[in-house]
Amino acid sequence: MPTTLNCENDLILESRSSLRQLAFQNVIYKTTRKHPSLSTISTTVSPASNTYTDKANQSTSPSAIFRSWSTIASSTSTSTHENGNTKDMVKQDNISSWISTRGFNPKTFNCKPPYARFFVIKSYTEDEVYKSIKYEIWTSTEVGNRRLDKAFRDNADKGPIYLFFSVNASGHFCGMAEMLTPVDYASSSSVLARNKGFGVFKVKWIFAKDIPNGQLRHIRIVNNENKPVTNSRDTQELYSEPGREMLKIFFDYRSKTSILDDSKFYDKRQAEMQRLIAQQRPASPEVVILNP
């Protein structure tokens, strides 16, 4: 049995990039990941109402996050080494530096936090998860946002709200973040496609690493018909014991891959979508061109 699990895990991780590309095949995005140039795309998020300052201050603003991201990513894009292995090493060094700057995958972490609450977050695409890491925001469905918002407010003076992220049909979890603010129902974000006016909240990413489902499938969720945690739906809450076990695995597991490995691919695709939207936007009726 252990051999089977190891094989399954290896196959999942080895086919990771293929799964991503298959998940998004269409006319617009038939591209290969060849170090695309980055385009600065700004986003604004209104301050959350009733923001919990002590938690919110742990995170920087989305614009500051993007500036730090662009600085490191651009240094990778300007590398002109002829040797492919050297390019890979430079890319990994820059990703590692970025992870270190943001404090991802800490060397010490309290895996038994008192009064913490835990939720599984399911996303349709890795693009959305990548943007959450990039801009440190998230949003769920209307029902999901209300569930998370209530949990945050009920637990504000007790303990943190931890969110375990997984993409549907990906075969793995891709990271964990802490919810920093209640849902601001008056705000929205243009960078998250699933945002439909249901509000947005800030998050602080703690772990950014791929963890195969085989490492987590043994964890059963009593409040979800005793199903494996890998079969959870979006915003499924975990009781303390399975939640803490998830934390320990996220902390202990030494992964060689993460969603950040494909940062340039997602940045290029976001830039292309922004460009297409701008091209399709009708000209303002107030603008009159004389003597063109």
Q: pLDDT tens across 33-58, in order?
A: 333 333 333 334 433 334 344 454 44
Long-range CB pairs of 15-21, under 8 A, 24+ apart, other chains included: 16/170, 16/172, 16/210, 16/257, 17/262, 19/169, 19/170, 19/171, 20/126, 20/262, 20/265
Global pTM exceeds 0.85: no
Asked whether residue 218 is assigned to any structural domain, the reply reads yes
Q: Is residue 40 part of a domain?
A: no
Pure H helices in 227-284 = 240-252, 263-280
Handedness of CA 211, 100, 47, 115 (dihedral sign): positive
Determine the pLDDT at residue 38. Answer: 35
Is residue 86 in some structural domain? no
The mean per-residue pLDDT over the stretch 120-138 comes to 94
User: What is the tally of structural domains in the chain?
Assistant: 1
Residue 9 pLDDT grade (very low, low, confident, very high; cuts 50, 70, 90)? very low
Task: Give the C-alpha separation, 270 to 284, whole Å.
Answer: 24
Domain that holds residue 149: 50-56+113-258
pLDDT over 80 at 81, yes or no: no
Q: Does 127 map to a domain?
A: yes
Domain contains 254: yes
pLDDT at 198 over 50: yes
Q: How many CB atoms lie within 10 A of CB 177?
A: 24
Residue 22 maps to a domain: no
For residue 269, is pLDDT > 60?
yes
Would residue 119 count as lying in a domain?
yes
CATH number at residue 122: 3.10.590.10
- The answer as to whether 5 is a domain residue is no
For the chain, the average pLDDT equals: 75
